[in-house]
Amino acid sequence: MPRALVLGRQFPGDTDASVHTALEELENLLAQLEIRVVATLIQRHRSADPTLGEGKLAEIAARIAEVRGDAPEEEELLLVVDDALSPVQLRALEDALPDVAVIDRASVILRIFESHARTRVARLEVEIAALEHALPRVREDRSLGGREGGGGGRGERGHSNVTLKKQELRERIAGLRRELASLRAAEETQRARRKDLPRAALVGYTNAGKSSLMRALTGSEVLVEDRLFATLDTTVRALSPETAPRILVSDTVGFIRELPHELVASFHATLAEARDAGLLLVVVDASDPQWRTQLAVTREALATIGAGAVPSRVLLNKIDRVDAATRAALAEELPAALQICAHAPEDGARLRAALIEAFDAAQVDDALEVPFTEGHLLGEIHAHARVLAETYTEAGALLRVRALPAALERWRGLLSTVRPITSPEELLAVIRRHGLELQAEDADFDRTGLDFLVVHARDEAGTPWIVRTPRRPDVTASAYVEARVLRLVRP
């Protein structure tokens, strides 16, 4: 088993507790890779300058020699720095400590992602991130002789093996991105089909319990493991028991302190479920003393991927592991948060009810008239809306539905392409199907308006009515909004 000497770094403003928590988290990360930590050192910096002095380098070298002397020579020994090292910093450490392999926190996280990736999309995303991370860190391999080719004439100095290696990596990255783009196209098609449905996304720090909540909400057999970054692929399932319309829940990759920016960039499309969601369920491990830091890291990551403005609700998970006093303090600090245990059925039911309530408040009631010629939309409307009433006439279906405004707007747009009304009789027939009997006063439309064709009519009691139909599709949209406003303000 590989062994590691861990170097922690404490900068001005860092508390002893936060440093030790970070080192404990790094040790857990290394355990995922079956790397055993055999020694830990902490460098306390007096300023923001991350440079290690000669004294600390000598101390590290002595500790490495001591650790190496206690184990077989063939056993791999690593120096793991709990920080993100720049290429220059990495080279300086490698030059100063030639007897040990040096890696940083970002490299550890990348290795874990590589070992946990299961689907082709996840493997491509991780490999691209790893290659992007490695690209600026390529070093001269002196065993290759320094330069290759092109040395036969004046001015033809050839290419260094660093240049050739970087070109090879760039070509590999380009090929992987092309393959990933083709796979993501299919994902985008699936995502487009879900856009009219209410969607919630489980987000949060790694190992906060998102997958357990996913199972509780949807009943799906998603992977639930007590390890960091067990889930790398986004899973989308329907809330169970199903509602009308269905509410979709997605389980996304977890966040962590100092998540490599290459991974954030590579997983940008995978995290689209969080950006496109109507509600983010921000899962926090209430039993972790560092939950505030983890919540801050999650919110920062959400802002980075463009999901910072999405409505959210905090879920204080694993609440069964804290005492009553802590629960009361949490309720005072985060009064809108929901305190739950993913394994408690009653808490799962409370969360489900909260989801239904949140999305129901975002929906509106409206009427749709679907001609038989557009009957293919009926199945979609039934799947993506709650149908409150449905009647049929000679021309088609009259629906009273409750759905998200965006879905209603889209259906209105599709239905507005139906053949326009061409005569007053046809317009009054439409009105008649809605239960109002009118008689036209004129044989033709009043065409004096720029936006509408108008019919002047009277009902059976002699009350005058003005009935109008839009002249153009763009007027249809404005008339729809106007009609909704009138319904809201009428007594």
Average pLDDT, the chain: 84
Residue 480: predicted pLDDT:
53
Residue 183: predicted pLDDT:
85
Q: Would you tell me the crossing angle of helices 16-32 and 105-116 to the nearest 10 degrees? A: 40
Top-ranked range on mean pLDDT: pick from 25-29, 57-61, 349-353: 349-353
Residue 157: predicted pLDDT:
47
pLDDT at 156 over 50: no
CA 401, distance to chain mean position in Å, is: 29
Residue 142: predicted pLDDT:
47
Strand partners, 39: 5
Q: Would you say 459 is a known binding-site residue?
A: no
Q: Map out the domains of the chain as residue ranges.
A: 3-113, 117-145+159-191, 194-361, 364-489
pLDDT band at 153 (very low <50, low <70, confident <90, very high): very low
Give how far Cα 395 sits from Cα of 398, 427, 434, 489, Å: 9, 12, 12, 30
Do the beta carbons of residue 295 and residue 283 sit within 8 Å?
A: no
Q: Would you say 223 is a known binding-site residue?
A: no
Residue 470: predicted pLDDT:
79
Residue 190: predicted pLDDT:
74
Q: Would you say 51 is a known binding-site residue?
A: no
Q: Would you say 317 is a known binding-site residue?
A: yes
Q: What is the mean pLDDT of residues 311-339?
A: 97
CA 245, distance to chain mean position in Å, is: 22
In this predicted structure, which of 50-54, 147-151, 160-164, 347-351 has the lowest mean pLDDT?
147-151
pLDDT tens digits along 421-445: 778 888 888 788 767 888 888 888 8
Q: Would you say 231 is a known binding-site residue?
A: yes
In this predicted structure, which of 132-136, 249-253, 460-464, 479-483 has the lowest mean pLDDT?
479-483
Do the beta carbons of residue 281 and residue 201 sit within 8 Å?
A: yes
Q: Would you say 480 is a known binding-site residue?
A: no
Is the CATH number 3.40.50.300 carried by domain 194-361? yes
Interior angle at CA 202, CA 323 and CA 318, nearest 5 = 15
Q: Would you say 230 is a known binding-site residue?
A: yes
Please tell me the total number of residues recorded for the chain in this structure: 491
Do the beta carbons of residue 116 and residue 130 sit within 8 Å?
A: no
CA 411, distance to chain mean position in Å, is: 27
Task: Confirm whether pTM is higher than 0.85.
Answer: no
CA 368, distance to chain mean position in Å, is: 33
SS (H, E, C) the chain: CCEEEEEEEECCCCCHHHHHHHHHHHHHHHHHCCCEEEEEEEEECCCCCCCCCHHHHHHHHHHHHHHHHCCCCCCCEEEEECCCCCHHHHHHHHHHCCCCEEEEHHHHHHHHHHHHCCCHHHHHHHHHHHHHHHHHHCCCCHHHCCEECCCCCCCCCCEEHHHHHHHHHHHHHHHHHHHHHHHHHHHHHHHHHCCCCCEEEEEEECCCCHHHHHHHHHCCCCCCCCCCCCCCCCEEEECCCCCCCCCEEEECCCECCCCCHHHHHHCCCCCHHHHHCCEEEEEEECCCCCHHHHHHHHHHHHHHCCCCCCCEEEEEECHHHCCHHHHHHHHHHCCCCEECCCCCHHHHHHHHHHHHHHHHHCCEEEEEEEEHHHCHHHHHHHHHCEEEEEEECCCEEEEEEEECHHHHHHHHHHHCCCCCCCCHHHHHHHHHHCCCCCEECCCCCECCCCCEEEEEEECCCCCEEEEEEECCHHHHHHHHHHHHHHHHHCC
Residue 413: predicted pLDDT:
83
In this predicted structure, which of 23-27, 38-42, 187-191, 458-462 has the lowest mean pLDDT?
187-191
Same fold: 3-113 with 194-361: yes
* Cα 104 from Cα 4, distance rounded (Å): 12
Do the beta carbons of residue 311 and residue 279 sit within 8 Å?
A: yes
Q: Would you say 319 is a known binding-site residue?
A: yes
Q: Would you say 243 is a known binding-site residue?
A: no
pLDDT band at 72 (very low <50, low <70, confident <90, very high): low
Q: Would you say 161 is a known binding-site residue?
A: no
Top-ranked range on mean pLDDT: pick from 259-268, 372-381, 421-430: 372-381
pLDDT band at 141 (very low <50, low <70, confident <90, very high): low
Interior angle at CA 337, CA 331 and CA 343, nearest 5 = 100
Q: Would you say 253 is a known binding-site residue?
A: yes
Residue 373: predicted pLDDT:
79
pLDDT band at 261 (very low <50, low <70, confident <90, very high): confident
% pLDDT > 90, the chain: 38
Residue 311: predicted pLDDT:
94
pLDDT band at 143 (very low <50, low <70, confident <90, very high): very low
Q: Would you say 160 is a known binding-site residue?
A: no
In this predicted structure, which of 36-50, 83-97, 137-151 has the lowest mean pLDDT?
137-151
Q: Which residue has the higher pLDDT, 90 or 419?
A: 90
- Topology at the third CATH level for domain 3-113: Rossmann fold (3.40.50)
Q: Would you say 401 is a known binding-site residue?
A: no
pLDDT at 16 over 80: yes
Residue 151: predicted pLDDT:
45
Q: Would you say 209 is a known binding-site residue?
A: yes
Q: Would you say 360 is a known binding-site residue?
A: no
pLDDT tens digits along 406-420: 899 889 888 875 566
Q: Which residues contact 438 (CB under 8 A, 6 or more apart)?
A: 428, 431, 432, 457, 458, 459, 465, 467
Residue 485: predicted pLDDT:
47
* Cα 202 from Cα 273, distance rounded (Å): 9
Q: Would you say 267 is a known binding-site residue?
A: no
